[in-house]
Amino acid sequence: MSDFMLEKHCWAEIDLDALRHNFAFIKRTVNGPVCAVVKADAYGHGDITVARVLQQEGAAAFAVSCLSEAKHLRRHGITLPILILGYTDPSQAAVLADQDIITACFSTQYAKALSEAAVAAGVRVKVHLKVDTGMGRIGFAARSDWQAVVKELEALYALPGLSICGIFQHFAVADSVKPDAQDYTDSQYALFRQVVDRLQADGYDTGTVHCANSAAQLRHPKWRHDMTRAGIILYGLDPSDELHFPVLKPVMTLKCLVTFVKDLLPGQSVSYGRTFTAKAPMRVATVCVGYADGYPRMLSGTQGQGLMMVNGQPAPVLGRVCMDQTLLDVTNIPGVGMGDEVTVFGPGAADTADTIARKTDTICYEIVCGIARRVPRVYLEKGKICKIWNDLEEN
């Protein structure tokens, strides 16, 4: 589309049709409201555009990690409920109330601090109670003494300045199919139900009840309660190597260009540290992507740990990945020249977010979240550009 001018260097293509497909599949599976998790800039995909699309598609709410992320959504027209899953400074009580943002309440100490700040500001702050059933990060420790936790939670309802409108927990190993992991997940769910059921039996309004993360909602849709929270599956990636949902469509494809092609003679080396030296004549292409763009330096190798697609064929990485550039072996790929488009990773490419994660001993979450903000996000609908977001050109 001529209205969209993309300076081709290194860019991430975001397929909004794939995003819609994934969201529709999730909604059909759980048959209930879905909260879209758009923290960490929508896992690197661009929070504003993703949230706007999902708001149109019928998301029930959005979840973020901090107040700044929530405020960013509000500034750009997101009107649905927003839940902060982590810590919010109690001194921000007035901001939470003014912008109608919900925050997690995970301890009595925190609840009292938030209550005092809300009273001082003359506001009421919406909170969702966070119960720790075995994740072990933040939350009321139900695994230690769930009955004591129920009493602790019930006492919070009397605190002024707080409006308790939800309760939730998070699964630790719902993405594992190992028998002990499944037993642990079952026990977490049973414990959460005990706490919620007792609160409700004692006459306390628990508001929106939610417990299922990406893996749990697809494996156990009956656990949906009032809402589920969809994170990595929205972006078409599996929650773990143990759990595969082939119907999901990866949303992100990272691309760059060939900037230079040269002949390498035997005995000549490339890149920092001279970790690769040619043993025979070969053709080498320089491409404009590096670890500052989010392409892991661990994909360096004497030859071939990382693979990129050049003219439809896989080209192995040569030597060390640099900050802004990487070298590829294109000896067996005819006609490679400056300006050729390279697929760094993506659906159907030589490498995907999953294969890169395995090669670098991490998870696909980190790969997509790690794509730098200097990399423009190019949004596609029906294969055509509908929007370009470039952080370096924003005011």
Active site residues: 39, 272
Sign of torsion over alpha carbons 13, 16, 22, 27 = positive
User: How far apart are alpha carbons 57 and 182 in whole angstroms?
Assistant: 32
How many CB atoms neighbour CB 203 within 10 A? 8
Residue 383 burial class via C-beta count within 10 angstroms: exposed 0-12, middle 13-18, buried 19 and up: exposed
For residues 104 and 140, the answer to whether their CB atoms sit within 8 Å is no
For residues 281 and 265, the answer to whether their CB atoms sit within 8 Å is yes
User: How far apart are alpha carbons 51 and 76 in whole angstroms?
Assistant: 10
Phi and psi angles of residue 263, each rounded to the nearest 5 degrees, phi first = -90, 135
DSSP reduced 3-state for 181: helix
The half-sphere exposure of 350 on its side-chain side, counting CA atoms within 13 A, is 18
